Structure 1
């Protein structure tokens, strides 16, 4: 295996592990990761149908329907008729959902800031800052 292949494998594993650590830093019994992801789409991108959300997440429409239904019953989303096609329902995040997602993100950000401050030296923190634009490019342009 080439050095680039080994580095790509290591990066994938580290990003996955960091993602799991960030999810674990959220309060126990909070929303599932699928629910958080759906709310993220609705907050970032605005109203979406179950079909739109399923396509964005790469899951079956039936699975997304169950996730949306759970969020609907928890008061985290609300539905309204699609203005272009009244047979479809477009969902939006409620103000309660927005507040919860904001609080959840703040907890994860706090965990990450503490980890960076306690685990990395000042020089290492600068190295991390320098690599962020590269990671952003990979995340934005990966095909």
Structure 2
């Protein structure tokens, strides 16, 4: 049963939305701490996530995905290449273009970061919640999933 949205949220819904946003922000920060991502900027993280999700891309397409100009994206890419996280190779279909992709080292770091976050969260859930509370969390996750699903 899905409630139809009213034009104005109730005070209870507004408080719940505010609490959820604040709580999820804290959870995101705690998960980020567990991954030890170092000194990457949000733009650099965005590029890495885009390359991981969509595969090799040009600077222009990465800039479009981040809502930036290609000229503004160039220093972001240069820093990622210098740090060994991204590699640049000629596009086999159009030698005038350069394709950027994640290095093997970067893929390994991403996998290790995800494993660290998963391990921390699983251990935290197990240590802080009873089996009955874990079942309630599972139900809550299903409800929260409806917020983000189309």
Provide the TM-score with structure 2 as the length reference: 0.77
- The separation in 1 between residues aligned to 2:69 and 2:13, in whole angstroms, is 34
Residue of structure 1 in register with 2:4 after alignment: none
Q: 95-104 vs 117-126, which deviates more?
A: 117-126
- The separation in 2 between residues aligned to 1:135 and 1:62, in whole angstroms, is 38
Return the match for 2:13 from 4, 21, 36. Answer: 4
**Structure 1 residues 66 and 137: alpha-carbon distance in aligned structure 2, compared to 1, 3 A threshold:** farther
Structure 1 gap segments, 5+ residues each: none
Superposition CA RMSD, Å: 2.4
Q: How many residues align?
A: 140
The higher radius of gyration belongs to: 2
The CA deviation at 1:68 is: 1.8
Residue of structure 1 in register with 2:124 after alignment: 115
**Structure 1 residues 118 and 64: alpha-carbon distance in aligned structure 2, compared to 1, 3 A threshold:** farther
Q: Secondary structure at the match of 1:25?
A: helix
Q: Deviating runs (4+, > 6 A) in structure 1?
A: none
